[in-house]
Amino acid sequence: MAQWIPEELLKNTSLIEQLADVAKDAALLQGVLMRIHESPNSSELVTYAPFTLFPSPVPKPVFLQALAVATHYNTLIDKISQDVDFLQEALASTIEVDDFTARLFKIHQLIQKEGRAQSIVLGLNRSDYMLDQREDGPLSLKQIEINTVAASFGGLTSRTPDVHRHILKVAGRLEESQAILDNNPAAGLAGAVAKAWELYGSQRAIVVFLVEESQRNVFDQRCIESELWKRNIASKRLRFDDVYKKGSLDQDKKLFIDGQEVAVVYFRNGYMPQNYVSEQTWDARLLIERSMAVKCPDISTHLAGTKKVQQVLARPGVLEKFFPEEPQAVELIRATFTGLYTLDMGPEGDQTVAMALAAPDRFVLKPQREGGGNNIYGEEICQVLQGVKSSTERMAYILMDKIHPTPIQNYLLRRDAPLTISNCLSELGVFGVYVRRGKDTVMNQCVGHLLRTKSSEHADGGVAAGVAVLDNPLLV
Ligand code: ADP
Ligand code: MG
């Protein structure tokens, strides 16, 4: 993948400084915003969400490949979420040793036992990829993970195309400016929420955005809220605590919070152990799961997005089981898998340990966590594995091949950070949405993309984690 920005532009520091100022104003103007970390719950002081000065090159064929596989990933996640035996088997070892996943799994089992109150299912996924470039080998699209809960930045990324278009014009690159793709996941995500709301069938009922204590990324969510209000659908931002204190079910299991009926609960919280500050938080999650409200995601779809499930899917024959009559779907999905290895007890897991210890730089060691900053790389893989290799504790992890994208030079614009040129790696996310009622899939769409770019010094990623920044693909 070629560096598209000419050297003379990249190295012209006074021009870069001018462009950076223009870029920050453009971001503020377009609403690419974040609250500052000193006051995450007040909009008195806001800043631009971090982003790249220039868009990054992405080869068109792999970009189209990522879009084309999105609806198949939706179908796959939806099928997994309905396959009780598969989830039980796939997660059996993990839940023995990982308390958080075990706790989620217990809710899933309880709901299975009691019976689901709601047959409408709403999925808002983001499948993340990097472009693997091995020596002399072809460039290939490889999945990092799929996010089935609280997948973020669909809102803000809907506003970044105009920022890059503007910067490129100011930089005299009209042709590239015109090549920046339209992208509006905010509308697509809201469209699916709206469809679920409509199927729920009560004009009075609202959509609840279940949000974190700290709300730095509020504007990303506001973009989706505002798309719902455009459709005259009322939404409210609430916390687990509000649900615990003011939530109840009526005899039909309709969810009421503070006297208001809830049609859809969209989780932007509840994906990390730290989100569950007390037993009351777990009670609130359970209340929602038991209710008639449409949950995005419901507990089984949440579990379908775990890294352990991702690893099990890569085993021979597993995808075929989900798509017995669609070899093409199997082929499209499998093409995006990189090597994924079990650390369960037994000879196969022992082999994974030996392989990782022999060449730790080839792999990433992943626990069942979301939100960035949890994965283990390089020498630390050896330290961790030496500690857990003989005990069942190792089953909390999976091992994955490390993907090697080609670094590209760019400037990362971030509040309080010096303007320096960085070697950057990009990660392409694709948003998929679906709605099902009982056996009928009512909607299954790809609704846009997200390019995030980070300095190659960082092994891990994440915009909210403070590592990656927003970007746009420039198709080449
Ligand atoms: P999380 O759920 O915490 O977001 P991810 O699996 O998405 O976990 O990993 C976080 C980040 O780590 C990614 O955004 C990416 O930058 C990096 N990463 C994860 N897996 C790999 C991999 N196999 N190869 C290279 N980088 C990876
Ligand atoms: Mg991730």
DSSP-based three-state secondary structure for 471:
strand
What's at 255, amino acid-wise? L
CA 143 to CA 141: how far, in whole Å? 7
CA–CA separation, 51 and 165 (whole Å): 13
What does the pLDDT look like over 144-195, one tens digit per residue? Answer: 999 999 999 999 999 999 999 999 999 999 999 999 999 999 999 999 999 9
Phi and psi at 208, nearest 5°, equal -100, 125
User: Which domains are seen in the chain, by residue range?
Assistant: 7-338+403-475 (no CATH), 339-402 (3.30.1490.50)
- Residues having CB closer than 6 A to ligand 1 are 128, 130, 144-145, 364, 366, 369-372, 374-375, 400-403, 427, 460-462
Q: Which of 153, 337, 364 to mutate to test the pocket of ligand 1 (most atoms within 8 A of CB)?
A: 364
Contact indicator for 265, 235 with CB cutoff of 8 Å: no
| Other CB atoms within 10 A of residue 360 CB | 22
Q: b/e for 296-314, b at 16 or more Cβ within 10 A?
A: bbbbbbbbbbbbbbbbbbb
DSSP-assigned letters across all residues of 114-175: H--S--EEEEEEEEEEEEEE-TTSPEEEEEEEEE-SS---TTGGGTHHHHHHHHHHHTT-HH
CA of 462 to the centre of ligand 2 (A): 6
Q: Which atom of ligand 1 is nearest to the CA of 400?
A: 23
Count the neighbouring beta carbons within 10 Å of the beta carbon of residue 63: 21
pLDDT of residue 416: 86
**Residue 260 Cα to ligand 2 middle (Å):** 34
User: Rounded to an integer, what distance in angstroms lies between the CA atom of residue 318 and that of residue 81?
Assistant: 15
Q: What pLDDT is stored for residue 459 in this prediction?
A: 83
- Ligand with an atom nearest the CA of residue 372: 1
CA–centroid distance, 288 to ligand 1, in Å, is 30
pLDDT computed for residue 292 by the predictor: 98
* pLDDT reported for residue 136: 81
Task: Name which of 125, 219, 190 is nearest 429 in CA terms.
Answer: 125
Enter the tokens of residue 188: 């697509």
Distance in angstroms (rounded) separating the CA atoms of residues 95 and 389: 17
What is the rounded radius of gyration, in angstroms, for the C-alpha atoms of the chain? Answer: 22
Which residues participate in catalysis according to the annotation?
126, 145, 147, 152, 307, 366, 370-371, 452
- For the chain, which ranges sit under pLDDT 50? none
Q: Please, are residues 34 and 216 in contact by the beta-carbon 8 Å criterion?
A: yes
- Among 338, 340, 291, 276, residue whose Cα is nearest residue 141: 338
CA 83 to ligand 2 centroid distance, Å: 24
> What is the distance between the alpha carbons of residues 208 and 220, in angstroms, rounded to a whole number?
15
pLDDT at 466 (0 to 100): 78
Other beta carbons less than 10 A from residue 97's beta carbon: 17
Report the Cα 332 to chain-centroid distance in Å: 20
Distance 461 CA to ligand 1 centre (A): 6
What ligand 1 atom has the least distance to the C-alpha of 425?
A: 16
Any bridge partners for residue 471, and if so which?
451
Q: Which residues contact 389 (CB under 8 A, 6 or more apart)?
A: 353, 357
At residue 175, the pLDDT reads: 96
**For atom 4 of ligand 1, which residue has the closest CA?**
372
> Cα–Cα distance between 38 and 41 in angstroms, integer?
9
Burial profile 118-155: b = 16 or more Cβ within 10 angstroms, e = fewer: bebbbbbbbbbbbbbbeeeeeebbbbbbbbbbbbbbbb
Q: Please compute, for residue 252, the number of CA atoms within 13 A of its CA located in the half-sphere on the CB side.
A: 7
| Residue 12: other Cβ atoms inside 10 A | 14
Q: Which atom of ligand 1 is found nearest the CA of 402? A: 24
Minimum CA distance residue for ligand 1 atom 17:
460
Q: Which atom of ligand 1 is nearest to the CA of 128?
A: 7
User: What's the angle, vertex CA 468, arms to CA 467 and CA 472, rounded to 5?
Assistant: 170
Instruction: Report CA 32 to chain centroid distance, whole Å.
Output: 18
Q: Point out which residues pair with 57 in neighbouring strands.
A: 474
pLDDT at 1: 59
Q: What are phi and psi of 20, to 5 degrees?
A: -65, -40
